[in-house]
A and B are shown apart, each in its own frame.
Chain A
Amino acid sequence: SQTIHQWPATLVQPVGSPLSLECTVEGTSNPNLYWYRQAAGRGLQLLFYSVGIGQISSEVPQNLSASRPQDRQFILSSKKLLLSDSGFYLCAWSFKGKSNQPQHFGDGTRLSIL
């Protein structure tokens, strides 16, 4: 069966510091990968998605970037964090397909910027 791991679970960073959140998937190959931000009362906002190694699509302009250096590894980064980057970040994966493809989520990372 497939599993998804996301770390760290919580992170406290000062403003202006860099960021690296990691997500890995096991038990499948060539999955679609996604980064979301979840905010209370605002639902899930898709930040980035990837259909393959080195292929990143950004949904919203922001201070963050994503990379996929390996098939089952997805990284969310920032060179300089802003206070507004605080939030709860979720990684997800799905099989490829044109229809009825649910996404499977990790445990999330709570990011606090001081």
Chain B
Amino acid sequence: AQRVTQPEKLLSVFKGAPVELKCNYSYSGSPELFWYVQYSRQRLQLLLRHISRESIKGFTADLNKGETSFHLKKPFAQEEDSAMYYCALGVYSGAGSYQLTFGKGTKLSVIP
């Protein structure tokens, strides 16, 4: 069975400092990874996905199959980045069902 691990429950960084939110996965097939973000009083929303290889709000994430990781990075943290971040692994389970397995989340707090 697939598994997603986010080792840090809470990460605090100063404004302007680099940010790295860790995500490791366990899956025997070809992985499809996502990062979701939940800002205070807002709904959970997609931040980025590895297949797009894009930068969203200054965040990037590179899939490293050798280390089975998909860490989320930003060179300079901003106060508005404070939120809950979830890493997710997507798997097609057959019969039209594509499912996401989520990590437990990391709360990022950016200190002014």
1/0 contact trace for B78-93 toward A, CB 8 Å? 0000000010001010
Determine whether the beta carbon of B44 is less than 8 Å from that of A49.
Answer: no
Which residues of chain A are near B86, meaning CB under 8 Å?
43-44
Interface window among B13-21, B56-64, B67-75, B97-105: B97-105
With both beta carbons as reference points, the residue of chain A lying nearest to B98 in the complex is identified as A101
Determine whether the beta carbon of A98 is less than 8 Å from that of B92.
Answer: yes
A interface bracket (residues with beta carbon within 8 Å of B): 20 to 34
Which residues of chain B are near A105, meaning CB under 8 Å?
43-45
Interface window among A18-26, A61-69, A89-97: A89-97
Instruction: Identify A101's interface contact among B45, B90, B104, CB under 8 A.
Output: B90
A102 at interface by CB-CB < 8 Å: yes
With both beta carbons as reference points, the residue of chain B lying nearest to A105 in the complex is identified as B44
B-to-A contact residues, CB < 8 Å: 9, 32, 34, 43-46, 49, 51, 86, 90, 92, 95-105
Determine whether the beta carbon of B104 is less than 8 Å from that of A42.
Answer: yes
1/0 contact trace for A76-114 toward B, CB 8 Å? 000000000000001000101111111111111000000
Interface Cβ pair total, 8 Å cutoff: 59
Determine whether the beta carbon of A51 is less than 8 Å from that of B96.
Answer: yes
Task: Compute how far the CA of A104 lies from the CA of B104 in the bound complex, rounded to whole angstroms.
Answer: 18
Determine whether the beta carbon of A49 is less than 8 Å from that of B97.
Answer: yes
Determine whether the beta carbon of A97 is less than 8 Å from that of B98.
Answer: yes
Instruction: Identify B104's interface contact among A41, A97, A100, A103, CB under 8 A.
Output: A41
Task: Compute how far the CA of A46 lies from the CA of B102 in the bound complex, rounded to whole angstroms.
Answer: 9
Which residues of chain A are near B103, meaning CB under 8 Å?
43
A57 at interface by CB-CB < 8 Å: yes
Task: Compute how far the CA of A101 lies from the CA of B46 in the bound complex, rounded to whole angstroms.
Answer: 11
What distance in Å separates the Cβ of B46 from its nearest Cβ neighbour in chain A? 5
